[in-house]
Structure 1
Amino acid sequence: MADELDELIEFLSNGSPQVRGAAADIVRGLTGDSDGLRSLAAHADPALPALLRLLASVGAGGAGEAAADSLVNLSQDGELAARLVVLGAVAAAMDVMVKRGGEQPKLARSLVMLLVNLTQVESGISALLQAGDEKVQGLYVAKLVRSFCRSSCDSEDEDIFEHIASILVNISKVEAGQRILMEPKRGLLKQIIGQFDSTNQLRKKGVAGTIRNCCFEADTQIQNLLSIAEYLWPALLLPVAGKKIYGEEDRSKMPPELANALSHEREAVDDSEIRERALEAIYMIVMQMMDERPFGQSMGHGYCRLVMKTKRT
């Protein structure tokens, strides 16, 4: 079996497109079950570079998609994900997505899922952030946010870029990722917040988780967070506000960015995970506001009262 697998991996680099395509399909099939994954993991040294080369090769077509699917399955293993990062998988995935993602939506979706797995490991996050190179740092993230915020299609079943939500959650767990997302000149967090209106639950959860993670830096980033308050507060408070329509007297005591949103009927957010993430973010921001200055204390108490009122309704 080992000899057969070695031969199969060699076929991934064969000069014939037909042979490469057939080999890629077989490898994809092997990664679909635990036994096949274990066998390929034992041959990772030749298999991973061969799959990456096939992914990056121009004109790979269906073979490129099969290679991407195989890499997605293999990268669920943290050790293999780390090895792929060393081999340049993050840069390869971004390059192929930019160049061929528009023509091959299935390939683009698989590459996004590959990046989700690669950013589960610290080295993958660093590679995606392009840490250490100030000239390009954050460029990959900006490209992903642009794709995430672009409507990929009319059908939720074909949302090519929905899993970028998980990538954003992963990179926002580290300080360097939070800084890039909250940098005012880039305006990335503001763009991401706009996706909270999506009907796609994966997108909504990703936005809520990304905001929550960024708020862990509230002690140093409070001004950057408050600079987008008109977008941030509705995104955080509406999930916990229920369906109640607030009267004029209540709304007169609210920040203007909330008063309008709470003046008309809306769908309640039933997902407890989204509400929990929103409440955690609110808590961290309000606590920092109350530490800042007397004005912040009064604003913070105002938001606390609103949160308590919405939790009771």
Structure 2
Amino acid sequence: MPTELEELVGFIAHPNQQVRKTAIEHLVHFSTEQPSIFKAEKLLPIKHLKFLVRDEPEIAEHAYTILINLSGDQEVLENIATDDKFLGIILANVTDPKEPHANLISMLLANLAKWDGLKTILTRKQSPPEGLGSDDVVLNQLIDLFVKGADGAYNKAADFDYLAYVFADLSKHPEIRKYFLTTQAYDGVMPLNKIKVFTEHKSDVRRKGVASTIKNAAFDVDSHPVFLDEDAINVLPYILLPITGNEQYDEDETMAMLPDLQLLPPDKQRDSDPNIVQTHVETLMLLTSSKPGRELMRSTNVYPIIRETHLRVNHEGVQEACDRLVQVLMADEEEEAAGAGGSWAAVEEDEDDDKIVEV
């Protein structure tokens, strides 16, 4: 005999909209407390939930919320992420400027990106909304949503911050890294250049996801000249500013730094999240894998900034990352050639966030 709760799950497929609405509203709580009830009958409730995202707005909101919470289960995650028709629906919905649940869809996509097979989104296309200014490549549309969503310029109901986690997880894959570093034909801009400006932003989620995306892209060592070129990505200021506080340096130290790092306001604060600081330092470490990267960091006096970061951020991961980077920056090229320099091999790719998003 089915339990009362199992019967309630069955009511989300009831033909009467009010019955569906009452049932799904009561079930949101159980998507975190008793998620197994949604796995009955070979995941039939998941099939119903995927259909309900097209129901009236309140029912759709609850359906998205439950799917977000349930996607922490690997079986459910793969069921959702491999449903090509459902992916098409939510990708079309998230780009709709009038979609009331665009942020929830962004959170669901952030969870789905943890399934490695989602990297096929790279070749996915759909017609872009007229106001987005994008082409038919879905990833380009998501990047443009993320940029325009920062100030609510596209959809008043959404900021699209969680798309940063989508980019971070997708950028674990070499082909996606190449995408971020490839100038797009429709606007002549590299995707990484569009998102790098958000390393200093009020949203923790946005900053963390962008920092991880930059770091993952930096595993493409052949692209490091592009990362460092002032006329290309010029990534150093966007990495160093978030890890720089209001410390006072002597004139000689200051004058050798990048122009963006000079004459900072007295209230300048480094990023409040030590995990983001660690990510940025590890990106710098990756960029020292080539001699031009090391020479640029030495000539622009990165060392004092790392020294102060080590002193002022009481976090084991940050301090270890700083130690490794300092070993490289303070070694001379002869020592490095002999193997005395620090190694960046221990730096691992980032997944943002390591945990499944829950609502």
Equivalent in the alignment of 2:263:
263
Length-normalised TM-score, structure 2: 0.70
CA-CA distance at 1:5 after TM superposition: 6.3
Q: Number of residue pairs matched?
A: 290
Question: What are structure 1's unaligned runs of at least 5 residues?
Answer: none
CA-CA distance at 1:108 after TM superposition: 1.6
Equivalent in the alignment of 1:178:
177
Equivalent in the alignment of 2:145:
147
Match of 1:287, SS state, is coil
Equivalent in the alignment of 2:103:
109
Q: Deviations over 1:33-62 (max 9, x none)?
A: 13xx112123453112211112135xx221
State yes or no: 1:129 paired with 2:122.
Answer: yes
Q: Deviations over 1:88-125 (max 9, x none)?
A: 343332122223x6341xx22211111111111112x3
Question: What are structure 2's unaligned runs of at least 5 residues?
Answer: 129-134, 309-359
The CA distance in 2 between the partners of 1:130 and 1:16, in whole Å, is 39
Higher relative contact order (CA 8 A, sep 6+): 2
The CA distance in 1 between the partners of 2:28 and 2:8, in whole Å, is 12
Equivalent in the alignment of 2:239:
236
Match of 2:104, SS state, is helix
Instruction: Flag the 1:248–1:91 CA change in 2: closer, same or farther, 3 A.
Output: farther
* One of 216, 227, 241 as aligned partner of 2:219: 216
State yes or no: 1:92 paired with 2:89.
Answer: yes
Pick which of 228-237 and 168-177 moved more: 228-237
The CA distance in 2 between the partners of 1:180 and 1:30, in whole Å, is 39
Equivalent in the alignment of 1:200:
203
The CA distance in 1 between the partners of 2:170 and 2:11, in whole Å, is 36
Length-normalised TM-score, structure 1: 0.79
Equivalent in the alignment of 2:114:
120
Q: Which amino acid aligns with 1:276?
A: Q
The CA distance in 1 between the partners of 2:5 and 2:40, in whole Å, is 10
Kindly indicate which of the two structures has a greater share of residues assigned to helix: 1
- The answer on whether the counterparts of 2:228 and 2:234 sit within 8 Å (CA) in structure 1 is no
The CA distance in 2 between the partners of 1:21 and 1:127, in whole Å, is 34
- The answer on whether the counterparts of 1:152 and 1:159 sit within 8 Å (CA) in structure 2 is no
* One of 52, 61, 68 as aligned partner of 2:64: 68
The CA distance in 1 between the partners of 2:98 and 2:261, in whole Å, is 36
The CA distance in 2 between the partners of 1:16 and 1:227, in whole Å, is 61
The CA distance in 2 between the partners of 1:70 and 1:220, in whole Å, is 42
Equivalent in the alignment of 1:307:
302
- The answer on whether the counterparts of 1:240 and 1:307 sit within 8 Å (CA) in structure 2 is no
Pick which of 242-251 and 47-56 moved more: 242-251
- The answer on whether the counterparts of 1:251 and 1:259 sit within 8 Å (CA) in structure 2 is no
Equivalent in the alignment of 2:22:
22
Give the root-mean-square deviation of aligned CA atoms: 3.2
- The answer on whether the counterparts of 2:168 and 2:213 sit within 8 Å (CA) in structure 1 is yes
Pick which of 200-209 and 2-11 moved more: 2-11
CA-CA distance at 1:272 after TM superposition: 2.0
CA-CA distance at 1:173 after TM superposition: 1.2
